[in-house]
Amino acid sequence: MSQIDSILGLADLTIQRVDRGRIIQVWASPKTRPSCIHCPNHPVRIKATHLRTLKHTRQGNQLVVLYLSVPKYHCLGCNRYFRHPFKGIRPRFRATECFRLEVFEAHDGGVCQSKLSLTHKISSATVERWYQHHIKKRVSELSSRPCPQILGIDEHFFSRKKGYATTMVDLKNHKVFDVVLGRSEASLQGYLSRLRGRDQVKFVVMDLSETYRNIVQRYFPNAKIIADRFHVIRLVNHHFLKMWQQHDPVGRKNRGLLSLMRRHQWNLKFEQKINLNEYLEQYPVLRAMYEAKQKLNSILLTKNIRAKGARELIPKLMELIDQFANSPVKTLAQTLKSWLEPIVRMWRFSKSNGITEGFHTKMEMMSRRAYGFRNFENYRLRVLAHCGWNGVFNRV
Ligand SMILES: [Zn+2]
C-alpha cells in the first residue's frame, strides 16, 4: 500500500490528481487489472471506462470526493463482461463504506440529521436510511447468539395501544438480550419456543410474578429461579402498610409517620427512633408487627452467603413467616412460602434485576427522544442496537 493509499484508506488505487479547494477532489483508477471473475486465470481486456463520483471520508474539515474511473472488462475466454470490483466500495453506491460508517457513527453518537447533512453534504433522508441499514446489520449479527447463562426477566410499559413488553437481560454481560411484545404466556410462547439454547440458561432472576414463573418452568428446563431483592422487600412493605391502614387509618395518613414506618430501622436517626417509639407505644399489636417486619427485612436483605449460612438462616425465616401466618397479613406469609426457594437462592446470589430496571430507564429515554414508537419492531431494533450490542464494526 503506497502512502497515498494509506491516507485514502482504499487499497489498490492509483491517484492521478488531487485538487484541494473547498472540498478535496481526488481522481483515481485501479492499480491492477484483475483476471476474469467467471473463469479464473483468464486474461481480460478493457472494453470501456466510466467515471464514478463517490463521497469518501472527511479530512480535517473538508469533504473528500473521489472520481473513480471504473473499467468494464471483457473476458476473451468466456466472452463475458464485468466491472472492476473495488474493496470497500459497493456497486452502484454513491458513497464509500467508510463514509457511510462515519455518518452512522456520528448519528449514533448524537449528531442530528440536519447537522450531518451540512457537514457531509447528504440529505437527512440519506442519514436516516444509512442509520437504519447499520442498525439492522448490528441486530442481524446478534440474532445467532445463544441464550445467556444468567437471565433477568421483567416487564415494562411500551405503549397504550400495544401494552406491555417483556425485557430479557444478560445479567452476566450487562446487555439486553431481547425485548418481546406482551407479558402473558400466550403472547410469548411463539417467541420462546423458537429460541435456541434455552437449556443453557442456568439462572433466571425475576420479580414475584406467577406468570413469569410458569413461563420459566416450561421453557427453560434447566434454569433455577431467583427472586429479585427489591421486589421482595417492596411486597413486604406493601402488605405491612396495608395492615397498618386497617389498624389505624388516621396514623397512616400522617406523612411524616409514613416515612418513618417505611424506612429500614438502621436508616433512622436517634430522635426519629424516639418519635416512632412514642407512636408505637399506643398500639402494642402494631409494635409487634413492626418489629417482626424489620427482622424479616434484615433477613431478606442478606446476600453473597455460602450454602451453610443459608441453611442456618432458613429456620429463622420460617419462624417469622409462621408468625405472619397467624396475623392479619396472612397473604404475605402465603406468598413468601410459595416463593421460599427463589428467596433462599437470592441470599446466595449477588445479581439482582437492578440491571434490568436500569435498562428500562435507558429504553424510556430512547422512546422519549423518538417521541414514542408506534412500530414495535423499530423500537426493538433501536433498543438492541444501543443496549444489546457489544463492540464496534470492523473497518472495511
Ligand atoms: Zn472469463
pLDDT digits (tens, 9 = 90+) for 316-367: 888 888 888 888 888 888 898 899 999 999 888 888 899 999 999 999 999 9
Instruction: Give the distance (Å) from ligand 1 centre to CA of residue 10.
Output: 26
Domain annotation covers residue 362: no
| Residue 360 covered by a domain | no
Same domain, residue pair 62 and 22 = yes
268 vs 236: CA distance, rounded Å: 19
Does the residue 364 lie in any domain? no
Whether residue 68 is contained in a domain is answered as yes
From the CB of residue 42, how many other CB atoms can be counted at a distance below 10 Å? 14
Distance 74 CA to ligand 1 centre (A): 8
Give the count of domains, the chain.
4
For a pLDDT cut of 90, what percent of the chain falls above it?
Answer: 45
Q: Is residue 289 part of a domain?
A: yes
Q: Are residues 257 and 276 part of one domain?
A: yes
How far apart, in whole angstroms, are the C-alpha atoms of residue 216 and residue 165?
Answer: 16
* Ligand 1 centroid from CA 329, angstroms: 84
Please tell me the predicted confidence (pLDDT) of residue 292: 87
Distance 75 CA to ligand 1 centre (A): 5
**96 C-alpha vs ligand 1 centroid, how far in Å?**
27
Average pLDDT, the chain: 88
Which CA distances in Å does 8 have to 28, 198, 343?
11, 46, 60
Q: Which residues keep their CB under 5 angstroms from ion ligand 1?
A: 36, 38-39, 42, 75, 77-78
pLDDT classification of 1: cutoffs 50, 70, 90: very low
Task: Please give the span between the terminal C-alpha atoms of the chain, in angstroms, as a whole number.
Answer: 15
> CA 395, CA 379: separation in Å to the nearest integer?
27
Q: Are residues 52 and 76 in the same domain?
A: yes
Report the predicted TM-score, pTM, of the whole model to 2 decimal places. 0.73
Q: State the burial class of residue 113 (Cβ atoms within 10 Å of its Cβ: 0-12, 13-18, 19+).
A: middle
CA–centroid distance, 33 to ligand 1, in Å, is 13
Q: Which domain holds residue 37?
A: 1-94
Instruction: Look at the block and give the residue holding cell 444501543.
Output: 386
Same domain, 71 and 102: no
Alpha carbon of 72 to ligand 1 centroid (Å): 13
What's the confidence (pLDDT) of residue 84?
93
Please tell me the distance between residue 89's alpha carbon and the centre of ligand 1 in angstroms: 23
Beta strands in 270-344 (DSSP E): none
Which helix (H) or strand (E) is 348 found in, with range?
helix 340-348
